[in-house]
Amino acid sequence: MSVALARQLREGTKKAHTMAENTGFVRCFLKGVVDKRTYRTLVADLYFVYSAMEDEISKLCELGHPLIGPINFPELNRRGTLEEDLAFYFGENWSGEVKPTKSAQNYVDRIHKIANDSPELLIAHHYTRYLGDLSGGQILKKIAQRAMNLNDKDGLNFYEFPLIDDQKTFKGKYSETLNSLPIDQKTADLIVMEANNAFHFNMKMFEELEGSLIAAIGKVLFGFISSRKKRGSTE
């Protein structure tokens, strides 16, 4: 019997979703305040998060896990696109340059822990990250492109899902898959709880990035004020 997991996840994470959208970093991003140095840190953090998730899901699929196998849609995978973006921001030797922030490492540790202890909870992180990226990707791409004055795909491959022709159709298929998983209500409740936890880890990443963004904006403002003072002293 279906427990309508897709609906439960959507309804059960509304509050956490709103809280994540209202973090300072996300609000600045949506307003077009995007610093390239801070943004590339976000790309690096996401690389470590997605690498952990995709590695663990791949292992579980090889073992034939009955709940993880069905949600393993290769067309959603993000590691490859993030590697392309990291090469753009850090250069071809990016792998020796990047490391996760503290909040991203905590996120990665959580993914590895539940993959080992309660693999079914990975569904929560899969839903939270991939569906969020797919739903808002093009809007965020345009904002970032305009704010950082980038060409069409330079450093923005993360937002591209070339293997998905129709996002609405795919999201419908994804929801049907969630609803068809052989789980009981107790498991569904735990997955929804973990999805809210996933939003918490994302918010912690955003809060850490917010500090970097504020510092970057402060440097720009300081440079602007100093420049005006210098011009004033010569006028």
How would DSSP label each residue in 62-117? Answer: HTT-TTTGGG--GGG--HHHHHHHHHHHH-TTGGGT----HHHHHHHHHHHHHHHH
pTM above the 0.85 mark? yes
The band of 19, judged by pLDDT with boundaries at 50, 70 and 90, is very high
Question: What are the pLDDT digits (tens) for 178-234?
Answer: 999 999 999 999 999 999 999 999 999 999 998 766 544 444 333 433 344 455 555
Choose the CATH number for 5-230 among 1.20.910.10, 2.120.10.70, 3.40.640.10, 3.30.1360.120.
1.20.910.10
What is the Cα–Cα distance from 30 to 160, expressed in whole angstroms?
Answer: 18
What is the Cα–Cα distance from 74 to 10, expressed in whole angstroms?
Answer: 22
Q: Is the pLDDT of residue 165 over 70?
A: yes
Q: Is the pLDDT of residue 130 over 80?
A: yes
Strands (E), the chain: none
The band of 138, judged by pLDDT with boundaries at 50, 70 and 90, is confident
Mean pLDDT value across the chain: 89
Question: What are the pLDDT digits (tens) for 37-73?
Answer: 999 999 999 999 999 999 999 999 999 999 999 999 9
Phi, psi of 226 (to 5 degrees): -60, -40
When pLDDT is averaged across residues 20-37 and rounded to a whole number, the result is 89
Who contacts 1 (Cβ-Cβ below 8 Å, separation ≥6)? none
The band of 137, judged by pLDDT with boundaries at 50, 70 and 90, is confident
The band of 83, judged by pLDDT with boundaries at 50, 70 and 90, is very high
The pLDDT of residue 145 is 92
The pLDDT of residue 235 is 54
